[in-house]
Structure 1
Amino acid sequence: MNRIDTRAAIVDAAASLLRESGPAAVTTRGVAERAGVQAPTIYRLFGDKDGLLEAVAEHVMAAFVAAKAGEVEAATAADVDPLDDLRASWLRQIEFGLTNPAVFRLLSDPERVAGSPAAGRGRQILAARVHRLAAAGRLRVPEPHAVALIQAAGVGAIQTLLATPREQRDPTLGETLMDAVLARILTDTPTGVPDGPVATAVALRALAPDLDALSDSERRLLIEWLDRITAAG
Structure 2
Amino acid sequence: MSTRAPALPPEERRAAIIAATLPLLLERGANVSTRQIAEAAGIAEGTIFGVFPDKDAVVQAVVRAAFDPEPTERALAAIDRSLPFEDQLVAAVVIVQRRLENIWRLVSSIGPAASTPTPPADFAALASIFEAERGRLRTDPVTAARQLRALTLAVSHPVLCHGEQTTPREIVTLLLDGIRDRGCGRDGVHEC
TM-score bracket relative to the smaller structure? 0.5 to 0.7
What does 1:25-40 correspond to in 2, within 5 Å?
26-35=32-41, 36-37=43-44, 38=46, 39-40=48-49
What does 1:25-64 correspond to in 2, within 5 Å?
26-35=32-41, 36-37=43-44, 38=46, 39-44=48-53, 48-58=57-67, 62-64=70-72
Q: CA deviation at 1:158?
A: 2.5
Find out whether 1:97 has 2:100 as its counterpart.
yes
Q: Deviations over 1:88-107 (max 9, x none)?
A: 3213432443356335779x
What does 1:83-122 correspond to in 2, within 5 Å?
83-98=86-101, 101-103=104-106, 111-114=117-120, 119-120=121-122
* In structure 1, C-alpha distance between the alignment counterparts of 2:72 and 2:147, rounded to whole Å: 21
**Paired residue for 1:224?**
none
Find out whether 1:67 has 2:75 as its counterpart.
yes
Amino acid at match of 2:100: G
**Paired residue for 1:24?**
30
Find out whether 1:10 has 2:4 as its counterpart.
no
Unaligned runs of 5+ in 2: 1-6, 183-192
Structure with more of its chain in helix, by fraction = 1
**Paired residue for 2:142?**
144
Q: Deviations over 1:6-34 (max 9, x none)?
A: 11221121123234x16435543322332
User: Residues 66 and 103 of structure 1: is their aligned pair in 2 closer, same or farther, counting only changes over 3 Å?
Assistant: farther
Find out whether 1:126 has 2:132 as its counterpart.
no
* In structure 1, C-alpha distance between the alignment counterparts of 2:107 and 2:169, rounded to whole Å: 19
Aligned residues: 165
User: Residues 154 and 26 of structure 1: is their aligned pair in 2 closer, same or farther, counting only changes over 3 Å?
Assistant: farther
* In structure 2, C-alpha distance between the alignment counterparts of 1:156 and 1:80, rounded to whole Å: 26
* In structure 2, C-alpha distance between the alignment counterparts of 1:139 and 1:155, rounded to whole Å: 21
- Mapped contact 2:67–2:103 kept (Cα < 8 A): no
**Paired residue for 2:153?**
155
CA RMSD of aligned residues (A): 3.6
Give the TM-score, by structure 1 length. Answer: 0.55
Q: Deviations over 1:24-72 (max 9, x none)?
A: 355433223322142423533887244222343157x64444333222x
Identity of aligned residues (%): 19
- Mapped contact 1:68–1:125 kept (Cα < 8 A): yes
Give the TM-score, by structure 2 length. Answer: 0.65
Unaligned runs of 5+ in 1: 189-233
Amino acid at match of 1:152: A
User: Residues 92 and 6 of structure 1: is their aligned pair in 2 closer, same or farther, counting only changes over 3 Å?
Assistant: closer
User: Residues 68 and 146 of structure 1: is their aligned pair in 2 closer, same or farther, counting only changes over 3 Å?
Assistant: closer
**Paired residue for 1:228?**
none
Indicate which of 170, 180, 202 corresponds to 2:174: 180
User: Residues 151 and 31 of structure 1: is their aligned pair in 2 closer, same or farther, counting only changes over 3 Å?
Assistant: same
* In structure 1, C-alpha distance between the alignment counterparts of 2:23 and 2:167, rounded to whole Å: 29
SS in 2 for 1:128: helix
